[in-house]
Structure 1
Amino acid sequence: MKVVLTGFRGTGKTSVGRILADRLQAPFFDTDTLVERRAGMPIPEIFRRHGEAHFRALEREAIASLRTAEGVISTGGGAVSDPANVADLRWHGTVFLLSAPPDVIHERIAGSDRPGLTGLPPAEEVQTLLARRKEAYLGAADTCIDTGRRMPDEVADLILRDAEISPDEKRERDGLLGRLGLSDLGEMIDQDPGLRVCAIAGNPCAHSKSPLLYNRLFAHFGMHYRYTRFEWPDAATIIRLANLLPLKGLSVTIPFKADVMRHIDEVDDHAAAIGAVNTVVRCGGRMYGHNTDWLGVRAPLAHRRGARAVVLGAGGAAAAAVYALVSLDMDVTVLARTPDAARRLAERFGCRWGALEDFRGSNADVVVHATPVGMEPDTRSLLAPGDLRAGTTVFDLVYTPPETPLIRAAKEAGCEVIPGTEMFVHQAAEQFRLITGIAVSPELVREMLA
């Protein structure tokens, strides 16, 4: 067994860790203590003599040495800002984030000889660092526990009872799982309470490659997780089920990317601007919404910064595409079968708009196709080879099949083509980081999909 406690100073990691180690009859490791042993001096002295970068390097070595350790590990809150540390801590372990309100933390650490990290007044530094690290904290943790009003013994009790639910909640959970055809998942959780769950939420979503990718990545990083599908007609039912499971993250697809925003607690600035969420991170009973689709569009097109671009479509995927292209300083026009929909999307981002028929004769350098047309079993293409000119970059966001009718037409016209699998790869890498705190390269994602 490997139990990891992380969180800001003053959240009780060391006190709770010692209690857990005693109850579990397991060794206790404190990474700050290991750093001091390696350096031969106290942490405040390390900071004074060598600075934070040297401390972080020693911390990295200490955490790497505990990758295969069994026992209870307490590590500093800044440690999980480094995805390499998170990968080592998560390896066959369960990570608990201990948190507390900023004023409680400030009160608990007042008088510490640990030097500040920002030059700000202590109370302001706590708030600033908590905000800066929030995304990393939520990703790195399997479970979040507020220790602000709890004694260390109480927190230890919660950790030992992790993922328990009431009999009424279990009945509701099993009923919903039965409706979704996932009764076996409830049995797996009951038999293995340490199991965490992630899923793709959509209708339909049977075609998605996310379960294949995520389950291979979980195995690769030694994570005790299972990724499945939540295919159901309404988002509210899916969110309710998610809250009854030891669920950490959701990948959200058609038709729920906009609807799901009404059911989650916090939405980040990018998702709010786009008006769609494709990634939900759950921790501490709260859900946090993000959008990684725009990064999946942006990364493969970074070499076309400043180009003239046309986006075909006006839905959630199109909004992410427009947001990405505008961030690359492109001159964007939105075209859709319903011109009013194109106008509404274009006006949000200060772009031009029109009907699909307006594409013919276009002098676009970049074309991004953001409708479901061409997705299996659909065999149509909105554009024919004669509509395109050589040298244009055509990016089809549809990734099943890998070579869509539009991609074939673009190749015939002599265009640079970017298949939808590239969007999937780049957005999935970012999504995995948000949900798990672990950074994965596009190359590793492609390898896992092969």
Structure 2
Amino acid sequence: MMIALIGLPGGGKSTVGRQLAKRLNARFVDSDAVLEERIGMPIRSYFEQHGEAAFRDEEEAVIDVLTASDADKALVIATGGGAVLRERNREHLKSRCTVIYLRSSPDELYRRLRHDTQRPLLQVADPMAKLRELYDQRHPLYEQTAHYVVDTGRPSVGSLVNMIIMQLEMAGLIPPSSNPADAPARRTD
């Protein structure tokens, strides 16, 4: 099983992805980390030196390789926030993976990211306006690509992972949890 997490920058894809992979006994891969290894420099530097179009070309190659991985191995992929901008990425993600959109509002993302200096698209005079613009541009693409949507709101990482596990169980993609502590509360009356 291959699961891909999509969503805006700062939506928790890497953090949730690591915990989800641990719970599913799967390998975790952050596509941005693979991309940085491929280009030999931080994404921000690459962006500055080569521009967004060249970056998106590299990102598309990474998404293609990651989603074409051995289907027999359990894998959780955290994608970059803009991975859905390319139609080919959306097609590969949707057809090769179970895609979960971690939906976050621009306001909550701003609270999380206001001091972040590593995300190239947010190094602007008005990061809140940029987050709103990114949301307006990308939200329809995330929804088009996703098989499931999980609102991040204010739940803990553990709660988000539990919500994803429950979605996967209800869809029959993974067997029901055998750990009673992981199972949702059930009514007994």
TM range (shorter): 0.7 to 0.9
- Percent of pairs identical after alignment? 37
CA distance in 2, matches of 1:2, 1:88: 12
Structure having the higher Rg: 1
CA RMSD of aligned residues (A): 2.0
Alpha-carbon spacing, 1:153–1:60, altered in 2? closer, same or farther (3 Å):
same
- Find 1:97's aligned residue among 101, 109, 112: 101
SS at match of 2:96: coil
- Find 1:126's aligned residue among 126, 131, 151: 131
**Higher helix content, 1 or 2:** 2
- Find 1:136's aligned residue among 138, 141, 145: 141
Q: Which residue of 2 aligns with 1:64?
A: 64
Moved over 6 A (4+): none
Q: Which residue of 2 aligns with 1:46?
A: 46
Alpha-carbon spacing, 1:56–1:92, altered in 2? closer, same or farther (3 Å):
closer
The answer as to whether partners of 1:96 and 1:142 remain within 8 angstroms in 2 is: yes
SS at match of 1:3: strand
SS at match of 2:89: helix
For CA contacts below 8 A with separation 6 or more, give which structure has more relative contact order. 2
The answer as to whether partners of 1:81 and 1:137 remain within 8 angstroms in 2 is: no
Q: Which residue of 1 aligns with 2:112?
A: 108
Q: Which residue of 2 aligns with 1:193?
A: 172
Paired letter, 1:147: T
Q: How far did residue 19 of structure 1 move?
A: 0.4
Q: Which residue of 2 aligns with 1:73?
A: 77
CA distance in 2, matches of 1:147, 1:117: 20
Q: Which residue of 2 aligns with 1:12?
A: 12
- Most deviating of 83-92 and 73-82: 83-92
Q: How far did residue 116 of structure 1 move?
A: 2.5
Normalized against structure 2, the TM-score is what? Answer: 0.82
**Higher strand content, 1 or 2:** 1
Q: Which residue of 2 aligns with 1:448?
A: none
Q: How far did residue 91 of structure 1 move?
A: 3.0
Q: How far did residue 148 of structure 1 move?
A: 1.8
CA distance in 1, matches of 2:168, 2:67: 24
- Most deviating of 22-31 and 107-116: 107-116
Q: Which residue of 2 aligns with 1:34?
A: 34
Asked if 1:152 corresponds to 2:131, the answer is no
Normalized against structure 1, the TM-score is what? Answer: 0.36
CA distance in 2, matches of 1:71, 1:100: 23
Q: Which residue of 2 aligns with 1:346?
A: none
Alignment of 1:388-403 (within 5 A): none
Q: How far did residue 72 of structure 1 move?
A: 0.2
Q: How far did residue 92 of structure 1 move?
A: 3.5
CA deviation profile, 1:42-96 (whole Å, cap 9, x unmatched): 1111111111111111110100101222400000221112120012112332100
Paired letter, 2:92: D
Alpha-carbon spacing, 1:164–1:194, altered in 2? closer, same or farther (3 Å):
closer
The answer as to whether partners of 1:13 and 1:98 remain within 8 angstroms in 2 is: yes
- Find 1:161's aligned residue among 159, 166, 186: 166
CA distance in 1, matches of 2:26, 2:169: 22
The answer as to whether partners of 2:94 and 2:147 remain within 8 angstroms in 1 is: no
SS at match of 2:115: coil
The alignment covers a number of residue pairs equal to 169
CA distance in 2, matches of 1:134, 1:25: 30
Q: Which residue of 2 aligns with 1:202?
A: none
